[in-house]
Structure 1
Amino acid sequence: SQASQGDFIVTIGIPPRGPETGYGYIEADEVRDTKNGIYSVKSFHEKPDINTARRFIKQDNFFWNSGIFIARTSTMLKEIEEYLPHNYKGLMKIKASLGTDEESDVINNVYKEMEAISIDYGVIEKSKHVLMIKGDFGWNDVGSWLSAAQYWPKDRNNNAFIGELINLDSSQCIVYSTKKPVALLGVKDLVIVEDEDVLLVCKRERSQDVKKLVEMLKSKG
């Protein structure tokens, strides 16, 4: 109702279940509505290192950033006009072309000239009209192997796996291999992912750094 009745962008903050380094954090400010868990937002924080994440969750006003934003179209466009004026002008050109013979050409030409920036960085983190609702429900951003593995089968040693797993004295591993059996012997806290083109092996604590590895591989062609 806050989003539909007022000029606010509403985001959902998830009460942290641990010092997660794979999510950004929302630092809530004053409580606007205790009954419905609505807060003003003090600031947004990028994905932290483990020590910073531990410090965050010791405070009761830090929440995981779900990346979910709710607002009236007019409100969002007003904020885009304020903080991304070049992109706003592009959107208005596209709007004017909708339903005309030039629609496809205008979209193709205008869109590629717009600034490539996420709504988070471009608008949300700068806006003075953001509220946060506490989302105390089951939520997971399945954007990492650790997150995905929470929903996989597990053996008695808490190894999560997709595919055929052969295990002797190994625990807390994450294994994904749909074509070949994977045999573990005396290892702990590893992530092992077998794909057609590459085999990934890393420590669980480094699984969020896979994106860095992908960028390195791309740079090498």
Structure 2
Amino acid sequence: MLQTTMDRLQGLVSAEQTLVMTNQHLVEQVRQQMPEVPPEQIVGEPMKRDTAACIALAASLIANADPNGVMLVLPADHVIDTDEQFQNCMRSGMKLLEQSPDRIVTFGIRPSYAAESFGYVQRGEAITDAGVPKAFRVASFREKPNQQTAEQYVTSGAYDWNSGIFMWRAATILEALRRYEPAMMKRIDAISAAMGTPSFPVTLQREFEKIDGRSIDYAVMERYPDVAVIEAPFQWDDVGSWQAIGRLTEPDEQGNCVRGKYLPIQSQRMIVMGKEDHLLVTIGMQDMIVVHTDNATLIAPKQEEERVREVVKQLQARDWTEFL
């Protein structure tokens, strides 16, 4: 049975120790869906500024509450099949931190195919003195590769997918961000100073908007000297892509993965997302993604999926954000 993030944290992290970072416009919806989490611990970012700023803000909140607090960073769009293996792996991460408190720990996934949509972690020498199986020093982080490079990574056997799951002390990541991203941390420190005061909402809006957004991989992970990776034993997928739906949906006899009302005519290996009250029909199509919503329709070859980012930029440039 697939576990939600909160399901797989039961017995490991309490709801009172859970901090949820989301879009400001989604705060009330998230609070309704997660009533067990104290409402003040569901925090809305005023605008998108990528993962480094999000993590910096969360770390400041945690460090203010507990200077010795440890953070486990979990993206919400992951599918993990076994909570027991997941929790054991997280406990292994804690062992690595106990051995070296200033260390950063990440979790790699053994590749099952040459994915172009995931980043990769190159494993270095094994860490053998912490009693943690399949723990390694990180030799390098690699951005999302092209198909040929991804195949080389998988063939070499030295690379894992970068899961985007991290563990560190809040103080460690804040210190690293101050070292590598001082301009960002100037804004985060101003927000932190206003926490618990009436000026916090205005300060958050003003200072967060001025941050130059970038990913935590670029801001810290590629630069930090002591990063360890544990090769995770659990099955994992990132549902941030349409092809992930295909991997998580049982295909029909033609290899089509379907949600909604769909009539395929000489169509194979399709990913189709629609609604039960709207019929989608394809004729003579293969290896395509078709997504129909109330106000937009996407049709693209599977191999062009990454270009959805171009669509987002074009919609923003045209001020057609209602279609995002």
Q: Same fold (TM over 0.5)?
A: yes
Deviation at 1:80, TM superposition (A): 1.0
Relative to the length of structure 2, the TM-score reads 0.63
CA offset digits 1:99-142 (Å, max 9, x no partner): 23333333333322333222221111111121111112110010
Residue type of the partner of 1:170? S
Q: Which amino acid aligns with 2:310?
A: K
Partner of 1:101: 198
- Name the count of aligned residue pairs: 221
Counterpart in 1 of 2:102? 7
Following TM superposition, by how much is the alpha carbon of 1:59 offset from its aligned partner in structure 2, in angstroms?
Answer: 1.0
Deviations 1:16-65 (A, max 9, x none): 01010001111111111385211111111111110111111011111111
The answer to whether structure 1 residue 23 and structure 2 residue 121 are counterparts is: no
Distance 1:199 1:111 in 2: 33
Cα distance between partner residues in 2 of 1:218 and 1:108 = 20
Change (3 A) 1:102 1:191: closer
Q: Secondary structure at the match of 1:67?
A: strand
1:114 is matched with which residue? Answer: 211
Higher strand share: 1
Contact 1:38/1:132 (<8 A) preserved: yes
**Correspondence 1:218 to 2:312:** no
Please state how far the C-alpha of 1:196 moved relative to its aligned partner. 2.7
Q: How far, CA to CA, are the matches of 2:297 and 2:194 in structure 1? A: 47
Alignment correspondent of 2:287: 189
Decide whether the 8 Å contact of 2:111 with 2:161 is kept in 1.
yes
In structure 2, give the amino acid aligned to 1:43.
Answer: S
- Cα 1:209–1:113 change in 2 (3 A) is closer
Q: Is the 8 A contact 2:121 2:159 kept in 1?
A: yes
CA displacement 1:116-171 (0-9 Å, x = unmatched):
22222111111112111111211001011110222234321121011112123322
Change (3 A) 1:87 1:187: closer
2:159 matched to 1:62?
yes
Aligned twin of 1:165: 262
Q: For 1:19, what is the secondary structure of its paired residue?
A: coil
| Unpaired runs of at least 5, structure 1 | none
- Aligned residues: CA RMSD: 1.9
Residue 172 of structure 1 contacts residue 189 of structure 1 at CA under 8 Å; is this kept in 2?
Answer: yes
Q: Which has the greater radius of gyration?
A: 1
The corresponding residue for 2:236 is 139
CA distance in 1, matches of 2:278, 2:201: 46
Counterpart CA distance in 1 for 2:196 and 2:317 is 41
Name structure 2 gaps, 5 residues minimum. Answer: 1-93, 320-324
Query: What is the CA-CA distance between 1:96 and the residue it aligns to?
Result: 2.6
Secondary structure of residue in 2 paired with 1:150: helix
Three-state SS of the structure 2 residue aligned to 1:200 is: strand
Q: Any idea what SS the aligned residue of 1:196 has? A: coil
Letter in 2 for 1:93: A
